[in-house]
Structure 1
Amino acid sequence: MTPPELVIFDCDGVLVDTETVANQRLSAIIAEHGLDLTMAQCRKRFMGRTMKSVRDILLEEEGIDLGADFPDRWLAGLPDLFSAGVEAIPHVREVILYLNAIDTPYCVASSAKVEKMHLTLGVSGLLPLFENVLYSAWMVEKGKPAPDLFLFAASELGHPPERCAVIEDSPAGALAGKAAGMRVFGYTADPLTDAEGLADAGAILFDDMRALPALLGLR
């Protein structure tokens, strides 16, 4: 396997363990508008999407209007949501330090706003490793599952898509990576991760970050 020139990481669920608490809050908000979705149902339905996309889906499919300012209200509530702390995904710091040591470029490409990434990566202690290479779906026309974000990140850093690898934990993100012409690896350690959806989207599955360098052909 030819090693990638650039490794692109999703943020939530790949670098930081935020999905459960975030989807618990989202489930509660949706319930206030009359639709009962469990935390697990929210994760499966909306994982990997922007809050603008979540708002649009609920309005179109359920007739639930969270309001045009929902993404901003969601962002404003995040410091409280993550006040108890955010854990880094096990062993991901060692992987990033290894990429640094072998001079392999990497970045983050997330559906979240940059402000959210600063918050969660900051609380987890990972921000110093990523603060200059953060790319958000809010920087492009279409978010995941469209390829725009991954193509934008690769272009900004000067690497051809076919020489990039994407690390994802959502089917929407995996579809975006494949549509961009990149190799996609699906992280499945969380038991609520949609492993079947990731596989169907074309991702190579793994459940231990320590295995990633070898899977990428970098060890």
Structure 2
Amino acid sequence: MPPSLVIFDCDGVLVDTERMANQNLAEMVTELGHPMTGPDCQKLFMGRTLEDVQRKIEELTGKTLPADWPEEVRQRDLERFKAGVPAIRGIVEVLDRLDAAGIPYCVGSSGKYRKMRTTLGSSGLLPRLEGRLYSAEDCARGKPAPDVFLLAAQKMGHAPETCVVVEDSVPGVRAATAAGMRVFAFVEDPACDREAMTEAGGILFENMSDLPGLLLSTP
């Protein structure tokens, strides 16, 4: 049977923001005297909350960052995103197929609501997802803890074991697995850690056009 609910991560799955956000983060970390590239940041921090990222950067640099540092990162990201964020190629067709099959879907993200509404709004996807957005800002723990996916399932009225998650990060795959949900890992980006995603329990796929077939045939 197909899943009763599909939970999508946001960045890198619905909207193509990961490269922009990781380049911004790399510039900010480099300004702290610890040179990093966008792919470096993607490998180390992708899928985590900025509060978790801050703790890890403090470990790397030996510096204590101000309490509002995550908000500074978010503000810089939002300024970049306002210029335009494209939807992931093929995602509109995926949502169309789920609608046609009568399978509900929602979003479970580490990002805050303000960011999701900015990026999804810029991409044109927000009208399809408004009212079905769930953020780690409402949870005690961010990914790789399962909290946001369990919250999404509860709010949408579905048992975790009947849900499927679509992710593009190792922490996200781990979170979905910890929630008892099957997870498809989108690995179109060459910087994705495919081995780690597989080890975490992800079912890898490279083309978004393949996802409807995978979802609709999920046992």
Give me the TM-score of the superposition, normalised by structure 1.
Answer: 0.95
Residue matched to 1:43: 42
Please state how far the C-alpha of 1:208 moved relative to its aligned partner.
Answer: 1.1
Could you say what secondary structure the match of 1:186 adopts? Answer: strand
- 8 Å CA contact 2:12, 2:18 repeated in 1: yes
Structure 2 counterparts to residues 12-91 of structure 1, below 5 A: 12-91=11-90
Q: Tell me, in whole angstroms, the C-alpha distance in 2 between the residues paired with 1:75 and 1:37.
A: 18
* Cα deviation code 1:22-79 (max 9, x no counterpart): 1111011011111111111100000001111111222245323331111222222233
Q: Tell me, in whole angstroms, the C-alpha distance in 2 between the residues paired with 1:218 and 1:129.
A: 23
- The aligned amino acid for 2:180 is G
Could you say what secondary structure the match of 1:193 adopts? Answer: coil
Residue matched to 1:176: 175
Could you say what secondary structure the match of 1:7 adopts? Answer: strand
Structure 2 counterparts to residues 23-172 of structure 1, below 5 A: 23-172=22-171
Q: Tell me, in whole angstroms, the C-alpha distance in 2 between the residues paired with 1:27 and 1:78.
A: 12
Question: Which range is displaced more, 101-110 or 174-183?
Answer: 101-110
Residue matched to 2:184: 185
- 8 Å CA contact 1:55, 1:65 repeated in 2: no
- 8 Å CA contact 1:114, 1:136 repeated in 2: yes
Please state how far the C-alpha of 1:179 moved relative to its aligned partner.
Answer: 0.4
Residue matched to 1:196: 195
- 8 Å CA contact 2:167, 2:184 repeated in 1: yes
* Cα deviation code 1:109-129 (max 9, x no counterpart): 010001000000110111111
Could you say what secondary structure the match of 1:135 adopts? Answer: strand
Q: Tell me, in whole angstroms, the C-alpha distance in 2 between the residues paired with 1:13 and 1:88.
A: 9
Residue matched to 1:205: 204
Q: Tell me, in whole angstroms, the C-alpha distance in 2 between the residues paired with 1:152 and 1:95.
A: 23
- The aligned amino acid for 1:42 is C
- 8 Å CA contact 2:24, 2:77 repeated in 1: no
Please state how far the C-alpha of 1:218 moved relative to its aligned partner.
Answer: 5.0
* Unmatched segments (≥5 aa) in structure 1: none
- 8 Å CA contact 1:10, 1:168 repeated in 2: yes
Could you say what secondary structure the match of 1:173 adopts? Answer: helix
- The aligned amino acid for 1:45 is L
Percent identical pairs in the alignment equals 51
- 8 Å CA contact 2:5, 2:105 repeated in 1: yes
Q: Tell me, in whole angstroms, the C-alpha distance in 2 between the residues paired with 1:13 and 1:130.
A: 16
Moved over 3 A (4+): none
Give me the TM-score of the superposition, normalised by structure 2.
Answer: 0.95
Could you say what secondary structure the match of 1:11 adopts? Answer: coil
Q: Tell me, in whole angstroms, the C-alpha distance in 2 between the residues paired with 1:8 and 1:37.
A: 32
